[in-house]
Amino acid sequence: MNNVTMKDIAEMAGVSKATVSMVMNKKDASISEVTRKKILKIAKEMSYIPNSIARSLSTKKSGTIGIILPDITNPFFSEMVRAIEDKAERLEYNLIICNTDNDIEKEQKYIELLISKLIDGIIFMSGGKSNESITILKNNNVPFVLVDRYIEGYKDDYGVFCLNKQGVIDGVQYLYEKGNRKIVFVKGREDIEISKQRLEGYIDAMKNYGIYDEKYIFEGDFNVEGGIIATKKIISCFQDLDAIFYSNDMMALGGMKILLRNDYKIPRDISIIGFDNIHISEIIEPELTTISQPIYMMGKKACSILIDVINGELLTEKQVYFKTELIIRGTT
Amino acid sequence: MNNVTMKDIAEMAGVSKATVSMVMNKKDASISEVTRKKILKIAKEMSYIPNSIARSLSTKKSGTIGIILPDITNPFFSEMVRAIEDKAERLEYNLIICNTDNDIEKEQKYIELLISKLIDGIIFMSGGKSNESITILKNNNVPFVLVDRYIEGYKDDYGVFCLNKQGVIDGVQYLYEKGNRKIVFVKGREDIEISKQRLEGYIDAMKNYGIYDEKYIFEGDFNVEGGIIATKKIISCFQDLDAIFYSNDMMALGGMKILLRNDYKIPRDISIIGFDNIHISEIIEPELTTISQPIYMMGKKACSILIDVINGELLTEKQVYFKTELIIRGTT
């Protein structure tokens, strides 16, 4: 890269670099109006853009934040990134994106790379037991905010989450009150903390109604393929189910595909409920009943907390928990 | 931010900063093995990460590329970003993401911000007539690669595209050979060049078969809402259509929703075809017949071209055009 510099402008204008610098930095009281205008005109014509890296080296602020997430092609994360980037842009921050595929080593490598570039802070959607990565962040005093993916052991760090357990309890209650009893639950991978929280909600609610049976719990990855694989197992085990509660919407989409292919009528033969409320859940037919997380609000909040911390503000409330909401649509 | 520095390590190890520097930069022939090991151990315990910004100021390389795109929540773009980031990560580059909502002014503002941060290059998915942004890039000698969105007037610049016109011709031919005659086309916004290319394919093919009629052309934004609005108009105008060809898959998803809601059976009553082949097109039921762009390959290619250009390599082939492929599924 070979950006336009003040030297280039000075040559073009036939003045000294010092004169250009005074005009660009608005310390131009001693410069004639004619020269000032000429310099500004040339700078515009040449598309001069001041370099902020030298400043970032002295201020130790890069104006850039990083986001660590499992996979941007999962709509939950792309919607979250959109919210964060919208907020960051308004505060004049840029966002570097890092896909980890829930791979802890890849996470750590990214975090080291981001720190080496003097990133101002990190929004962290962990792929599992990310303790080593967090130690590196803390040792280097890099501000970070955990989002969506709570990690055990970091109760005193900044975080934005939703009330996962209560969300599932609300969903089971709704299914129970509609007369469903044989309710399968497809949990997420066990090393992800939110999988456990959602599962706890299911177990508590089912026990509360006296209809808990361990055999109704299946496991899958938090994606379409995870829902497909789990649902094939489920329908080979049981023929008389009332409902399936998937731990996220992407799983539910995969599950619905298998059920429709096997001539199940939804919701007549079986009710389906998801978790997240990604956009696509209301595009498919029938539209998916789900537990809504306020994804956009969570992303915006995470970004504003991070930038407050970067700016040295003291926040009294370190962790923010958003309520979920039951969204009733066509699959129940 | 307050990263761990060589000074911190020197203090902890009880040696000079110069000694730490020699060990860290592997110029440690004069350092005893005991001291060397002690310093490396302390550096690891303290999570020391060398700062690359000072280096980037002297090399004028930041190891960061920017991607300008309309909206990351559109799966076409999130799949493209994923491909680019996968490639960038392997080449040790980071990716800054910028959502423009097809707003030309927002594009330009982002490009100025990225240049001020000494970004090494830009992958540019334009939101329309981006001539001013490209002038700024060229004046600053910032390498860029246009992807997906061709912009008129830049035939000699780097670009990765697909053969949009031929893709639509293939789609119309397939519909024609299956006996469809009344084929509606939903074009994209006219200020986007690919909208025109796809429309040209439709007009040429329909004229070729002697079945062209202007009244069958509708317009919509390249998203679900665009498909919904256009399809409401279409079914209020015509009751006896054979097929609808949407200019992208997101539009087709919106269109199918309206058709299903109005009791159209797909494909018995009407055939549907899209363009892009985003993942979701094979998750919905019925699965969407579409013109596939090799999104992942296009993203990887764009990233490798950009990084080659950044590294000063001379490429003989400036523009790469990928073939599309007709993917026949359940909607036709």
- Reading chain B (332 residues) residue by residue, the pLDDT tens digits are 467 888 889 998 999 999 998 898 888 888 999 999 999 999 888 888 887 766 666 677 788 999 999 999 999 999 999 999 999 999 989 999 999 998 999 999 999 989 888 889 999 998 888 889 999 999 999 999 999 988 888 888 999 999 999 999 999 999 999 999 999 999 999 888 899 999 999 999 999 999 999 999 999 999 999 999 999 999 999 999 999 999 999 999 999 999 999 999 999 999 999 999 999 999 998 999 999 999 999 999 999 999 999 999 988 889 999 999 999 999 99
CB B220 within 8 A of CB B230: yes
Residues of chain A contacting B60 with CB distance shorter than 8 Å: 1-2
Looking at the fold, whether B189 and B247 belong to one and the same domain comes out as yes
Q: Which residue of B has its CA nearest to A121?
A: B1
Looking at the fold, whether A191 and A275 belong to one and the same domain comes out as yes
Looking at the fold, whether B299 and B289 belong to one and the same domain comes out as no
The domain in which residue A288 lies consists of 164-294
Q: How many residues does chain B have?
A: 332
CB B94 within 8 A of CB B64: yes
Residues of chain B contacting A64 with CB distance shorter than 8 Å: 96, 117
Q: Considering the entire predicted model, what is its pTM?
A: 0.89
Q: Residue A78 and residue B79: Cβ atoms within 8 Å?
A: no
Q: Is A160 helix (H, G, I), strand (E, B) or coil?
A: strand
Looking at the fold, whether A286 and A174 belong to one and the same domain comes out as yes
Which residues does residue A146 pair with via DSSP β-bridges, in sequence order? Answer: A124, A159
Predicted local confidence at residue A317, as pLDDT: 86
Residue B222 and residue A220: Cα distance in Å, rounded? 33
Please report the number of interchain residue pairs, chain A to chain B, with beta-carbon separation below 8 angstroms.
Answer: 185
Please tell me the total count of domains within chain A. 3
Question: If 0-12 CB within 10 Å is exposed, 13-18 middle and 19+ buried, where does residue A131 land?
Answer: middle
Q: What is the CATH number of the domain that holds B108?
A: 3.40.50.2300
Predicted local confidence at residue A57, as pLDDT: 65
Looking at the fold, whether B169 and B158 belong to one and the same domain comes out as no
Residue B318 and residue A110: Cα distance in Å, rounded? 31
- Give every strand in the sheet of A289-292, ordered side by side: A217-219, A183-187, A243-246, A271-276, A289-292, A325-327
**Inside any domain, residue A182:** yes
What sign has the CA pseudo-torsion A201, A202, A203, A209?
positive
Mean pLDDT of A267-282: 96
Q: Residue B82 and residue A63: Cβ atoms within 8 Å?
A: no
Most confident range, picked from A232-246, A303-317, B98-112, B129-143: A232-246
Own/partner contacts of A131-140, CB < 8 Å, gap of 24 or more, are A132/A104, A132/A108, A133/A68, A133/A104, A133/A107, A133/A108, A135/B47, A136/A108, A136/A111, A136/A112, A136/B47, A136/B49, A137/A111, A139/B4, A139/B46, A139/B47, A140/A115, A140/B1, A140/B2, A140/B3, A140/B4, A140/B47, A140/B49
Q: Report residue A26 as tokens.
A: 């608005």
Residue A124 and residue B136: Cα distance in Å, rounded? 34
Q: Residue B141 and residue A3: Cβ atoms within 8 Å?
A: yes
Looking at the fold, whether B262 and B306 belong to one and the same domain comes out as no
Q: How many CB atoms lie within 10 A of CB B44?
A: 9
Q: How many CB atoms lie within 10 A of CB A207?
A: 10
**Inside any domain, residue B313:** yes
Looking at the fold, whether A29 and A176 belong to one and the same domain comes out as no
Cis peptide upstream of residue B75 (ω within 30 degrees of 0): no
Looking at the fold, whether B144 and B239 belong to one and the same domain comes out as no
Looking at the fold, whether B183 and B280 belong to one and the same domain comes out as yes
Select the more confidently predicted residue: A256 or B102.
A256
Beta strands in chain B (DSSP E): 64-69, 94-99, 121-124, 144-147, 159-162, 183-187, 217-219, 243-246, 271-276, 289-292, 319-322, 325-327
**Inside any domain, residue B158:** yes
**Inside any domain, residue A328:** no
Looking at the fold, whether B15 and B69 belong to one and the same domain comes out as no
CB B129 within 8 A of CB B104: yes
Which candidate from A1, A94, A142 shows the least CB-CB separation from B118? A1
Predicted local confidence at residue B302, as pLDDT: 97
Which residues does residue B183 pair with via DSSP β-bridges, in sequence order? Answer: B243
Looking at the fold, whether B168 and B196 belong to one and the same domain comes out as yes
Type of residue numbered B160: V
**Inside any domain, residue B328:** no
Residue A207 and residue A216: Cα distance in Å, rounded? 13
Q: Residue B97 and residue A92: Cβ atoms within 8 Å?
A: no
* Summary count for chain B: helices (H), strands (E): 12, 12
Looking at the fold, whether A111 and A175 belong to one and the same domain comes out as no
Residues of chain A contacting B61 with CB distance shorter than 8 Å: 1
Which candidate from B73, B86, B253 shows the least CB-CB separation from A283? B253
Q: Report residue A21 as tokens.
A: 């610098």
**Inside any domain, residue A57:** no
| DSSP type of residue B97 | E
What sign has the CA pseudo-torsion B7, B10, B14, B20?
negative
- C-alpha gyration radius of chain B: 26
Q: Residue B140 and residue A97: Cβ atoms within 8 Å?
A: no
* Summary count for chain A: helices (H), strands (E): 12, 12
Is the complex ipTM more than 0.90? Answer: no
Q: Which residue of A has its CA nearest to B307?
A: A1
Q: Residue B62 and residue A117: Cβ atoms within 8 Å?
A: yes
**Inside any domain, residue B229:** yes
Residue B31 and residue B38: Cα distance in Å, rounded? 11
Q: Residue B99 and residue A120: Cβ atoms within 8 Å?
A: no
Nearest CA distance, A282 vs chain B (angstrom): 10
**Inside any domain, residue A327:** no
CB B102 within 8 A of CB B128: yes
Residues of chain B contacting A261 with CB distance shorter than 8 Å: 285
